[in-house]
Amino acid sequence: MRYFIKADHFLLENKVVDKGYLLIENGIFSSIVHDVSSEDNVVDWSGFSVAPGLFDTHIHGIDGYDIMDGTEEAVKKISISLAARGVTRFLPTTLTSSSEDLNKAIMAVKSMVQQGLPGAQSEGIFLEGPYFTETHKGAQNEKYFKDPSLEEFNEWQKLADGMIRKIALAPERTGTQEFIRSVKRSGVQVSIAHTDADYVCCEEAIENGANNFVHLYNGMKGMHHREPGTVGSALRSKNSFVEIICDGLHVHPEVAALTYQLKQDRLMLITDCMRAGGMPDGEYTLGEFPVAITDGVARTETGSLAGSTLELIDGIKNLCEWTKEELTDIWHLASLTPAKSLGFESKFGSIAEGKKADYVVLNSNLEVECTAVNGKVIYSRE
C-alpha cells in the first residue's frame, strides 16, 4: 500500500518540517515532498501535526486491566487502550509475584502476540522483579523477593518463546553480577530497580551490562555528597538510560527538568501505569495489594505511591512545560529514546526513511486524532 499524509507539521528527530506530504510505502516511512500528482493517494490531515508513535517500555495496565491478570483479554484491551493514547509499541510489564502468576502473565502475552494484537504492538515482556530488595520495595510484594537464578529465568524465557526483552533487579543481591552478564549475552536488557545498592555496586552492574535505571529516584538509594548511591550512578553514567514518571508526583518538576539537563536523550519517559489509568477514583488492586485512587493518585494502604495513572502524552506535555524545551525534543524521549534503550532505533521511534510507519496525528491541543502502526490506522478519534 502506498499513500501520502498531508499535514501542517511533521516532528522529525532534530527539526520540524512544515507543510508537506509524507510518503508511506508498504508500511514504511519514505521521504517528505512538497508536491504530489493528482493520481496519488493522499490522506489529508491539513491543520494537524504528525509525530512518531509513542513507545511505553514500562506499563502494567490501564482502563481496568493489568498484565498480571494473566488473561488474553487483559493484554488485548491494554493494546487497544494504548492505541487511543498515541502509543504504538509497548513492553507488557509484570510485577513481583508467585511463579504461577508470572507464568500465567507470560503465557497470556505470548498467546495474544501470536494471535495478533489489534492496537499497540508488544515488543517483548518486561519482568519487573522478583530479584529486588526489601529496603526500597515500593508496591512490590517482598514475600516473593529472592536472589537471581539463571535456571529460573531460562525457564521463564523458554515459556515466553524468547519474548522476555528486559528484566529489572537489585544489583546488590547475591549472584546478581554474574546473572547480569549471562542474560545480557543472551540479548536481554538489564535494568536497576527497587535497590539499596551503593555507587560502586551500581557501577559494577553497568560494567557487566546493565543499561537502565527504573523510575529514577523512586525505589532506590538516593544521592548523598559522601555516597553518590544509586541515583548518583544513574546521573553520572554517560551511557545508561534513566526512566522518569513525569506526573509531578513521583518526581518534583524541577528535579525532572534538572535530570533532562544532565541526561538529555538518555532520559526516557514512561508511565508505570496500573489498571486504574483512565478510570474513576475508587478501590483497585496492583498485584496482590489493594490500591486506593484519590484525585488520580494511586496509593497503597500504607500511603506509598503504587504506580501511576499517567498517560505518556501527558508526561510529554508536563516535561515540555517544566523544561521549556521544544516539543520535538521532548516527544522523542517517549518514542526514539525507548527504542534506543532496547536497540530498536533502526526499526522505529522516529519519522525517518526506512523505519516502520508508526505515527500519531495530533491537533493543536496535542490530543490524539489518529494512531497508525506499520502505516495501518489502529485508532481514529472519529
DSSP, residue by residue, 20-38: EEEEEETTEEEEEES---T
Chain segment 197-238, per-residue pLDDT in tens: 999 999 999 999 999 999 999 999 999 999 999 999 999 999
CB atoms within 10 A of CB 281: 13
Q: What is the CA radius of gyration of the chain?
A: 20
Task: Please spell the DSSP secondary structure of 151-186, one letter per residue.
Answer: HHHHHHHHHTTT-EEEEEE-TTSTTHHHHHHHHHHT
Catalytic residue ranges: 272
Query: 126 - beta bridge partners?
Result: 93, 166
- DSSP-assigned letter for residue 134: G
Chain segment 254-304, per-residue pLDDT in tens: 999 999 999 999 999 999 999 999 999 999 988 888 899 999 898 888 888
Q: What is the pTM of this model?
A: 0.96
Q: Which CATH class is domain 54-341?
A: alpha beta
Chain segment 309-360, per-residue pLDDT in tens: 999 999 999 999 999 999 999 999 999 999 999 999 999 999 999 999 999 9
Instruction: Give the residue extent of every domain in the chain.
Output: 2-51+351-380, 54-341
Q: Which CATH class is domain 2-51+351-380?
A: mainly beta
Query: 3 - beta bridge partners?
Result: 24
The closest of 254, 256, 187 to 217, measured between CA atoms, is: 256
User: What pLDDT sits at residue 360?
Assistant: 98
User: What pLDDT sits at residue 221?
Assistant: 97
The closest of 267, 329, 263 to 12, measured between CA atoms, is: 329
Q: In the Cβ-directed half-sphere of 246, how many Cα atoms lie within 13 Å?
A: 32
Scan for cell 549475552, then name that residue.
Answer: 185
> Alpha-carbon distance 332 to 359, whole Å?
12
pLDDT of 139 higher than 90? no
User: What pLDDT sits at residue 289?
Assistant: 85
Q: Are 101 and 88 in contact (CB under 8 A)?
A: no
